[in-house]
A = this chain, B = another copy of it.
């Protein structure tokens, strides 16, 4: 894989001096066009061998181009705010907006390579990390991002010579910190696992470019030209990643029977039972949230449902069990300008709770496969891929201890009509009913189909959907609280078992 980056590529100064001005000018032009179009972000990943010119090249790019449109990001030590959240959070928060360029040093690849080289984990875990990166990048590209991945390479001999030269230069010596690199053992491992990573993550939408790092003229021109070509062709394309999806449309249930039909919407609770059960579940919830084990977890509750199904009321009963300092509620409406300049899931990543905290999403990332699908706010290709993107997202956050509980509050069409009408009569409830609600009602069946597909495709072992019979608000509220409590208890139990096993192994 690195063979042709060890053959001594070089370009003489004369050729370089002749080519550099035009390249520079063209890069500036492309960068300006990028900013004007504001259609997509550019993400540049910088990896490879120490001493192969990574830092110097990034510095040069900043000199060639307009540094005001470039964000150079490093990811060293995690801050405590980052440690309290899933690992990917630190990358999400640093993504460049559409029209801008982000250069990521010390990105997800460096993290996995360091871990493997230093024996923190074995190949299986490395492969998991590789797989996650692949999905992450695929999603970014599908969302329009243009990704460049550069691997700066040196042969072992070249590396040793270069590190020595750098160390002798007082202006540069401060930068050579890891003595580590001088040891050939590390080099061999790094190259070995580097190859594994490159092999598996070089994809048509985000290929790796291996750059031989010895000759400054060669590597500068090579990187510059790859960037330029990629930028120019992306700027010309009418859409960055045209919807090439040839997938068949989602199957229609042959018998017209929908998952929602299986719900018994007549289930109800009388006032007395309700009050007793509500208080019991609220106290249980309050206790669970104060449990010491909660410190290793975070909780997310997602509320979706028909209009007027009682989401707001259910959320209030959940919140009422807690001190307001323990939770935050995120109402999801139309995205803001800054959110529109980012991949779809960015605006949800912003609100991922830290360890020990609880976030309620009043509507959520499922908007893409519900309202956006039904109202045709995005092309089918976008909502079709959203199912697996959402599953990936929930898997990622679950793995780092976020418990995700998802509710669909279901009512029937008659109940909705009654509630709409009564809302219009009560002054302080009139704001709850809008023109949109009546319009959505006309699309009852389309929403029904979308809900069926959503549950079929995103109800997973990690994060199952709970369908809540909500014709009776009391029934719904108690079921919501009970489901959350069961989820917390299951998570705590699992962690207890895990702790016991760990103790046994030790003793």
A interface vs B, CB < 8 Å? 25-26, 28-29, 32, 36, 55, 58-59, 62-63, 66-72, 74, 79-81, 103, 105, 171, 174-175, 283, 286, 290, 312, 315-316, 319-320, 323-325, 328-329, 331, 336-338, 362, 427-428, 431
Contact = CB atoms under 8 A, between A and B. Distances in A.
A63 B28 contact: no
A354 to B, nearest CB: 9
Contacts of A431: 32, 36
Given A55-B323, A336-B338, 7 more contacts: A25-B428, A62-B320, A68-B315, A79-B80, A175-B323, A336-B336, A336-B337
A63 B316 contact: yes
B81 A428 contact: no
Given A66-B312, A290-B174, A319-B67, A72 B325 contact: yes
28 contacts: A26-B428, A32-B428, A32-B431, A36-B431, A55-B324, A55-B325, A58-B325, A59-B324, A62-B320, A63-B320, A66-B312, A67-B316, A67-B319, A67-B324, A68-B312, A70-B329, A72-B324, A72-B328, A74-B325, A79-B80, A80-B80, A81-B81, A105-B325, A171-B283, A171-B286, A336-B338, A337-B337, A337-B338
A164 to B, nearest CB: 21
A301 to B, nearest CB: 13
A174 B326 CA distance: 14
Among all A-B residue pairs, the 5 with the closest Cβ atoms: A72-B324, A337-B337, A68-B331, A25-B428, A32-B431
Contacts of A80: 79-81
A316 B32 CA distance: 16
A31 to B, nearest CB: 9
Given A337-B338, A338-B337, A25 B323 contact: no
A324 B62 contact: yes
Contacts of A62: 319-320, 324
Nearest to A103: B324
Contacts of A63: 316, 319-320
B25 A427 contact: yes
B427 A362 contact: no
A290 B173 CA distance: 12
Contacts of A58: 324-325
A71 B325 CA distance: 9
Nearest to A71: B328
A25 to B, nearest CB: 4
A69 to B, nearest CB: 7
A59 B323 contact: yes
**Residue of A32, A69, A325 with most chain B CB atoms under a 10 A cut-off:** A325
Nearest to A426: B25
Nearest to A69: B331
B59 A428 contact: no
A431 B325 CA distance: 49
Contacts of A337: 336-338
A69 B315 CA distance: 13
A428 B28 contact: yes
Contacts of A25: 427-428
A486 B275 CA distance: 71
Contact of A29 (B32, B105, B320, B428): B428
A325 B62 CA distance: 11
Contacts of A55: 323-325
A70 B316 CA distance: 12
Nearest to A33: B431
A68 to B, nearest CB: 4
A234 B364 CA distance: 32
Contacts of A290: 174
A67 to B, nearest CB: 5
Contacts of A283: 171
Contacts of A70: 324, 329
Contacts of A32: 428, 431
Contacts of A69: 331
Contacts of A171: 283, 286
Nearest to A30: B428
A130 B55 CA distance: 46
A68 B362 CA distance: 8
Nearest to A61: B324
A103 B324 CA distance: 10
A313 to B, nearest CB: 11
Contacts of A328: 71-72
A55 B325 CA distance: 9
Contacts of A362: 68
B105 A329 contact: no
A124 B250 CA distance: 71
Nearest to A65: B316
